[in-house]
Structure 1
Amino acid sequence: MVKKFISLVHEERAKKADNPEQTKKFISETANDLYQEVAKVAEEARDCYEKGSTKEFSDEEFKRLMFMDGCFVVYFIHFMVTDDSEQLEMKNDDIYFVESDLFLMENHLPFLVLRTLMSSAYASDDEWREV
């Protein structure tokens, strides 16, 4: 299967400069707090990958990738399950491609990262588990 729209934790993403406006769209004003929570689990998250497969990323780069990609996935899932996909400001084709790409093995994020972000972003465990 070939990626059509997104690439998570991928060499190309690490080399490209992020668009600051896009970054603002995907994270809230509590970004620093969320980043610190992801940073706490980054080493354990790195252990979820095949040994040596993430060595090209420094610890800081890896934390940043986990944070940015995790925020995007949580943001995307939130708007899809709340039936508020208009907020994504994406065409239906693009939404389909993102959904497809999220299931590609090379795009998988450790659940630990997603759980950390969701439990930090939502008021209660019950609230984020509904998502």
Structure 2
Amino acid sequence: MYVTRYQEKFKDEFIKLNKSWIEKFFALESHDLEQLDHIEDYLNQGAMIYFGIEEEQVLSTCMAVQLEEGVWEICKFATNEKFQGKGAGKAVFKASIDYAIEQGAQKIVIYSNHILKPAIHIYQSFGFNEVPVTIDDYQRCNYQAELMVE
């Protein structure tokens, strides 16, 4: 398994994995569709998407997006259920964090939901701390975490 930055050939898999992951637990919301329908716009503004790949198959994916000067969000973090447990999720998550830091992130945020316990475990293992939810972009968001970069 290796991690690679965004490649056009994996775009459809990025969209498919994220839609199926979200729809398994929740419903797609307008902010999801905005991000998934305008990937190139986000990339052109400095965002980056990472893929965990094995034998040209996407195992996991994750996106880092700048929200404002010094503040980045890790989002659209999804893993193909057939390949859970291979470490691909942690690998793309770490690559996204590293990218945000390289781009000058002073704070990295995550918006999620308490029912996603395996994801929250990953967030905590990377040093994210739960904070009060401050957004209303997603109805499903009842969990917010931050990582302060030193």
Q: TM-score, normalised by structure 1?
A: 0.36
Name the structure with the higher strand share: 2
Q: TM-score, normalised by structure 2?
A: 0.33
Name the structure with the higher helix share: 1
The one of the two structures with greater contact order (alpha-carbon pairs below 8 A, sep at least 6) is: 1
